[in-house]
Structure 1
Amino acid sequence: MTVLVFGSTGQVATELRRQAPEAVFLGRDRADLTDPAACAAAIRAANPTAVINAAAWTAVDRAETEEAAAQVVNGAAPGAMARACADLGVPLVQISTDYVFGGSGTAPRRPEDPVSPVNAYGRSKWAGEEAVRASGATHVILRTSWVFSAHGANFVKTMLRLGAERPALRIVADQIGGPTPADAIAAACLRLAAALREGARSGTHHFAGAPETSWAGFARETFRIAGMPTTVEDIPTEAFPTPARRPLNSRLDCSALAADFGITQPDWRAALAQVITELKGA
């Protein structure tokens, strides 16, 4: 199976490189998502057996002032990819986000639950989902959350940097979700691409780490594993204002993915220990 991956240096794309070095990876120099037609042309030129879109606009706060640009990258580009995949009969795995939901309540969100994004980033990712569904391509949309790894910009690396500079940090404790290791997302994407090639049905699925926690809990575990004395003070979301609103409830119900594909939720704490070990060895 020849897999074409959009993305080259992001967290998930980097892990895909590790796990599937034989795949073809398209960075911005070869396929810029600000040019959806070029993305579609790249698929037609490569004529792959499966496509994984691991590239996206991920600057959540900046999307508030540049929503039109985010809509092109996260909405129009996946739609163009999906239409090219439909024309070639090639399956597509599209990575999406918990941010398509409004973030109220405490129950884990199921794939079929109504969406109501509260920020521009979430709206752009929802537009991409809808474009993929409308394309007629065989696909899986994989919603995930709180991605972390030893590379790229992410919460774990930020905490380790700040924890080395300050004895105490104030961290939001009323946003609850599942930190998800990028290597587990990469493995899931490869497995889904293969399953689609073998006749699996299109659909939307959720994939996040377990158990659920808050950002404050995530930070405490990071410092504990790293052996750092940094303390964490719980604060509410309103005490840490950001340009883009964040959902309070980022819990994802991942049971359908386990039932349909045998892909179970990773324990983010074990993955976090591996990431910190890798960072210490860097």
Structure 2
Amino acid sequence: MRAVIFGAGGQVGRALRANLPEGIAVESFAREDIDIASADAVFAVIKNTRPDVVINAAAYTAVDRAEAETDTAFLINAKAPGHIAEACKAVSARLVHMSTDYVFDGTSERPYRPDDPTHPVSAYGRSKLAGEHAVRKTLPDAAIVRTAWVYAAGGANFVVTMLRLMGERDELAVVADQIGTPTHADSLARALWKLAANGAEGVFHYTDAGEASWHGFATAIEEEARALNMIDGCTVRPITTADYPTPAARPARSLLDCTATYAITGPANHWREELRIMLDQQKALS
């Protein structure tokens, strides 16, 4: 199978390359390699590579900055996926497109199913939902995979930020009333390859197993990192969303129902198990 990865320099893109299954020849394109907002550039890549499958892991992910840079967010998260879908259609390539839990408003008392109504509450969420619509308009059989709270060793993410702050401070205050599921980019990448290999079509949800608040996630990071002698220790104090206002609203409870996806990929590890794996990787980098 021949594959193309867009967004190869990001967390998920790097994980896709690191977890490449046998029998797949891949060509990877990072932000500096191609302007995915250019239809001509995207068509040229797809025409020249003639892939069987394209995985689009490229995205504008600066959630708060998107409130001011809305046009840029929509260019990368909505217009560009439309170009990619059109190019895939032209060469009969399948498309796996990454999306987010932020397409939901976070008011559901149960995990969101793939067919639940969407209602994003931020510019970032609206741009990602527009990207889903652009993909499905052109390629109804594309696989759209929503995920949440992604992190990876060596990246710019919540875990790496917490490790840095815990090394600098004796106490941190972290929001405790937003609930989701931390997801290791490596486990997500393996699931994406399985979905691609199985010719998956439609909307899918994938996260690691379990749930946590940001405070609970930070507490686990502190405990696991201290056990690995990565930090000396830090008190993690719970606060509310109201105590920590941000430009963009966040869904308060954005758990994703991954039942249908797990039927294809197999069950996911609990997020804390994956956190330990990532911390071992992060320690090796330091």
TM-score bracket relative to the smaller structure: over 0.9
Q: Percent identity?
A: 47
**Residues 141 and 18 from structure 1, CA distance in 2 versus in 1: closer, same or farther, beyond 3 angstroms?**
same
Distance 2:243 2:47 in 1: 49
CA contact (8 A) 2:194 2:265 kept: no
TM-score (norm 2): 0.93
Q: Which ranges of structure 1 fall in alignment gaps of 5 or more residues?
A: none
- Any conservation in 1 of the 2:55–2:95 contact (CA below 8 Å)? yes
After superposition, the C-alpha distances for 1:151-185 in whole angstroms (9 at most, x for unaligned) are: 21100000000001111111000000000000011
TM-score by length of 1: 0.95
* Pairs within 5 Å for 1:100-111: 100-111=103-114
Distance 2:86 2:123 in 1: 24
Q: Structure 1, residues 8-66: CA drift from partner, whole Å, max 9, x if none?
A: 22111111111228410011232212324422331122111110001111111111011
- The answer as to whether partners of 2:159 and 2:221 remain within 8 angstroms in 1 is yes
For residue 138 of structure 1, give the secondary structure of its aligned residue in structure 2: coil
Q: Which residue number corresponds to residue 206 of structure 1?
A: 205
Q: Distance in 2 between matches of 1:94 and 1:252?
A: 17
Kindly indicate whether the alpha-carbon contact (under 8 Å) linking 2:5 and 2:13 is maintained by their aligned counterparts in 1: yes
Which amino acid is the alignment partner of residue 166 of structure 1?
R
Aligned 8 A contact 1:8 1:27 in 2: yes
Task: Give 1:34's match in structure 2, choosing from 25, 30, 37.
Answer: 37
Moved more, 271-280 or 14-23: 14-23
Equivalent runs, 1:71-150 vs 2, <5 Å: 71-136=74-139, 138-150=141-153
Runs (4+) of structure 1 moved beyond 3 Å? none
Structure 1 residue 138, shift from structure 2 partner: 3.2
Q: Which moved more, 1:76-85 or 1:261-270?
A: 261-270
Code of the residue aligned with 2:69 in structure 1: it is: E
Deviations 1:106-134 (A, max 9, x none): 21111111111000000010011011111
**AA aligned opposite 1:105:** S
Tell me the distance in 1 between the aligned counterparts of 2:265 and 2:277: 23
1:90–1:138 Cα contact (<8 Å) kept: no
> Which segment is superposed worse, 31-40 or 226-235?
31-40
Q: 2:191 aligns with which of 181, 188, 191?
A: 188
**Structure 2 partner of 1:17:** 17
SS at match of 2:98: strand
Corresponding letter in the other structure for 2:5: V
Q: Is the 8 A contact 1:4 1:50 kept in 2?
A: yes
Query: Aligned equivalents of 1:43 and 1:269: distance in 2?
Result: 38
SS state of the match for residue 217, structure 2? helix
Q: Which residue of 1 aligns with 2:234?
A: 230
> How far is the alpha carbon of 1:77 from its aligned partner?
0.7
Shift of 1:262: 3.6
Distance 1:161 1:168 in 2: 12
Q: Secondary structure at the match of 1:249?
A: coil
Structure 1 residue matching 2:198: 3-state secondary structure = helix
Q: Does the CA-based 8 Å contact 2:106-2:252 persist in structure 1? A: yes
Please report the RMSD computed on the Cα atoms of aligned residues, expressed in angstroms: 1.4
Distance 1:263 1:133 in 2: 26
| Preserved CA contact (<8 Å) 1:86 1:137 | no
Code of the aligned partner of 1:226: A
Residue 73 (structure 1) shift = 0.4
- Structure 2: stretches of 5+ with no match in the other structure: 227-231
